[in-house]
Structure 1
Amino acid sequence: MLQSAFPIATYHHRLADVQSRMREAGLDAMLVSMPDAVHWLTGVDSVGYLWPQALIVPADAGSEPTFVTRTTEAPGVDACSWLSQRRFYDISVTDPVDALISAVSDLGFGSARLGLETDAFTMLPSTYLRIVAAFPNATVSDCSYVVPEARLVKTEAELAYQRQAAAIADHAMSEVLSRVRPGISELDLAGIAARALGEAGGEHAAIPPMVVSGERSALVHCMASRRVLGRGDVVCIELAGVVHRYHAVLMRTATVGEPGPRVREVAELQKQAHLAAVAKTAPGNAVQEPEDAARAVLEPAGLHGNRCHRIGYSLGVAYPPGWLEPMTMVQGDPHRFAPGMSFTVEPNLHLPEEGFGLKLGETVECTSTGPRTMTALEHDLFVV
């Protein structure tokens, strides 16, 4: 029995949409190797992407893709995907890139307008160069964003999975916050988060729970260490609930004891910036508007320069090592918010010269009536 998150008709509809986009882009075929894209189109769910593999997608309407991967992946492909066209290679005797080249040739795309993902960690430069060299008569172009763009506006079924993931994230964050105390380590808290996520039904996330404390709280993207919490520490926590690979990210900050006036002041400004940014994620708005709204709050206080990164990005199906989709809330991004889009809003701040950082973020969806946050948690500092 097929072990997939959606009916087969859903995958056929997605494929038809992608093939239409391919024809508009002037492609005859493309090789899709990013695991989130492969999963979204086929249901395949494995770590097989650690070795060269690809879904060869023809642009012709009604044509079925061919999946090229290791023999090791055969049982999973059979169990999780609707595909009937599969080519398995034995990695002990066959060079994986040779297997991809052979499949492209056998399918008749050696002289075609061929799309390759140039912006993908699964398409190594050596693999790309070998494929290009193998087909001197092909016209090769980048297809990195054909599938990701098709995924930006989600169906109600997809959003339902993401809302379940958000509830799992809420549960795990509440568990972690309840265990913050002097004498516990960052690793302990990260372990509590992982266990709570699993107990609530969460799958493995593209990025594991992150916990930083004290002066390390300014190292916003660092992983948990053996540092033990003490009185006065700021503690930043980031984690993600996952359901059928749909992610919902959540970030909050706690203090061990009453925060000092400066931490309290910055946290309140961060909260105001966050809420102002969320309010600007309404249908039709340009995606840089949340950043502009946060800047209007933080810049007069001299804090805009302490923003760690872009204020948000689209989010959905993800695999390690990351969970970003192509829409990012920065100047120059051409997207506009539309109902069905889901994304993070996270005006995280780092003040290393003052010895602390603050995280505040969550997953939000754009609806026809405006933004709706997926978390039930408050936006204030959690004080132990």
Structure 2
Amino acid sequence: MRNVMGQEQLDVVIILSKENRRYFSNFTGTSGALLITNSDLLLLTDFRYAEQAKDQAPLFEVKQHTGVLQEALGKQLKEMNVRHVGIEDSLTVGFLVGVKKETTTCEFHSIESEVNEIRKIKDEGEIQKIKKGVELCDLAFNHILSFIKPGLSEKEIGLELEYVMKKNGAEGIKANHVIASGERSALPHGAATNRIVNAGEFVKMDIGAVVDGYFSDFTRTVVIGEPNDKQLEIYEIVHKAQEEALNYIGPGKVCSEVDEVARSIIREAGYGENFGHSLGHALGLHIHEKPAMRSTDKSVLEPGMVITVEPGIYLPGWGGVRIEDLIIIREDGYENATKSTKELQVIDPQ
């Protein structure tokens, strides 16, 4: 970050988002601001988190403020007599107005792309946390195969998955769990409802465990009872699209080109309009980070990037299939952290 400050001629950088606060300082409280200069590290927080901050962020001088954070931050900037200030895009207009009430000499500059660039390469410590999360997803999926049966609701299935992950070490789950059955499996982000699952239906499960702040992401689609020809067709197309993308992916490959490998298979099978999201996305302290494997992202994959590969086909009124693995880009190729089978799992309807 200090290298960025030198290049951009910034006097100070303010870090406010919870993910970036944790990344740069290890502080996990819900309120606070980091101020990084070329010589100092300051963490502003209130009474609730002052002791926690001292324990979690030993490299930072912890300064306890009173009143609202934005006003305290503005006063601190005024005291420091700085002019060029780097800020994240997550800073709200209202918060910035509050800061400016206390200081009128600062010029604010976005550092969002620079922060994304710093965070996109994960070190081995970060990777191990993500891999542990994927292990919990694998464990939950293997358990749920013997749990699912007709008559259960989507919510019951989702709660069981969550229970298994948390019981075995997850500190949380990603917010957008998808448990979608029957015709609802055509919803890419169909959150669990009270809908009852029935024989003859797909059940799509997109889950993720959080370990020490780091997210994982995992999707499998199963069928209750013997699949019909249409279900087999759609599943095999998605499976093939993912396998071809995995055969292509690796360091030096361009995100948009990897996306096209999978997308072309689905398009040539006649379902191009039914695959409307990107092939994958990076993750870490946030469930969706950059880069993304989509047609508009020309980023080059580098060792240390962690990214999902998740093609899907979604047919409104009928159902849908998605298969998702979590990939770590390595010097000599990639490591697939997801171990669960991708063969279509047929759930006994009895």
User: Quick one: distance in 2 between partners of 1:21 and 1:149?
Assistant: 10
Task: Note the alpha carbon deviations across 1:16-57, whole angstroms, 9 max, x for none.
Answer: xx21122223322121111111111111123x15xxx32112
Is the Cα contact below 8 Å between 2:251 and 2:301 reproduced in 1?
yes
User: Quick one: distance in 2 between partners of 1:64 and 1:258?
Assistant: 64
Shift of residue 84, structure 1, vs aligned partner:
3.7
Deviates most, 66-75 or 224-233: 66-75
Shift in CA distance, 81/214, structure 1 to aligned 2, threshold 3 Å: same
Is the Cα contact below 8 Å between 1:268 and 1:380 reproduced in 2?
no
Alignment of 1:131-170 (within 5 A): 131-132=99-100, 134-170=102-138
Shift in CA distance, 206/149, structure 1 to aligned 2, threshold 3 Å: farther
User: Quick one: distance in 1 between partners of 2:176 and 2:145?
Assistant: 17
What letter matches 1:43 in structure 2? N
From 29, 35, 47, the equivalent of 1:56 is: 35
Alignment of 1:310-349 (within 5 A): 310-318=278-286, 323-349=287-313
Deviates most, 125-134 or 330-339: 125-134
Is the Cα contact below 8 Å between 2:74 and 2:101 reproduced in 1?
no
From 49, 73, 81, the equivalent of 1:108 is: 81
Superposed CA RMSD in Å reads 1.8
Report whether the alignment pairs 1:24 with 2:7. Answer: yes
- SS at structure 2 position matched to 1:230: coil
User: Quick one: distance in 2 between partners of 1:25 and 1:296?
Assistant: 41
Alignment of 1:159-238 (within 5 A): 159-207=127-175, 209-238=177-206
Instruction: Normalising by structure 2, report the TM-score.
Output: 0.93
What letter matches 2:36 in structure 1? V
User: Quick one: distance in 2 between partners of 1:274 and 1:75?
Assistant: 48
Is the Cα contact below 8 Å between 2:266 and 2:272 reproduced in 1?
yes
**2:19 counterpart residue number:** 36
Alignment of 1:73-84 (within 5 A): 73-84=49-60
Is the Cα contact below 8 Å between 2:306 and 2:327 reproduced in 1?
yes
User: Quick one: distance in 2 between partners of 1:101 and 1:251?
Assistant: 44
User: Quick one: distance in 2 between partners of 1:216 and 1:74?
Assistant: 46
**1:6 counterpart residue number:** none
Is the Cα contact below 8 Å between 1:290 and 1:329 reproduced in 2?
yes
- SS at structure 1 position matched to 2:302: coil
Report whether the alignment pairs 1:369 with 2:332. Answer: yes
**1:89 counterpart residue number:** 65
Deviates most, 98-107 or 133-142: 133-142
Shift of residue 208, structure 1, vs aligned partner:
5.2
Deviates most, 279-288 or 262-271: 279-288
Instruction: Normalising by structure 1, report the TM-score.
Output: 0.85
Shift in CA distance, 280/104, structure 1 to aligned 2, threshold 3 Å: farther
- SS at structure 1 position matched to 2:268: helix
What letter matches 1:373 in structure 2? N
Shift of residue 132, structure 1, vs aligned partner:
4.6
User: Quick one: distance in 1 between partners of 2:144 and 2:6?
Assistant: 49
**2:277 counterpart residue number:** 309
**1:272 counterpart residue number:** 240
- SS at structure 2 position matched to 1:170: helix
- SS at structure 1 position matched to 2:85: strand
Shift in CA distance, 331/220, structure 1 to aligned 2, threshold 3 Å: closer
From 66, 71, 74, the equivalent of 1:98 is: 71
**1:379 counterpart residue number:** 342
Gaps of 5+ in 2: none
Shift of residue 74, structure 1, vs aligned partner:
1.9
User: Quick one: distance in 2 between partners of 1:344 and 1:358?
Assistant: 16
Shift of residue 344, structure 1, vs aligned partner:
0.8
From 47, 54, 58, the equivalent of 1:71 is: 47
Deviates most, 181-190 or 199-208: 199-208
Identical pairs, percent: 24
Deviates most, 159-168 or 229-238: 159-168
- SS at structure 2 position matched to 1:302: coil
Shift of residue 274, structure 1, vs aligned partner:
0.8
Gaps of 5+ in 1: 1-17
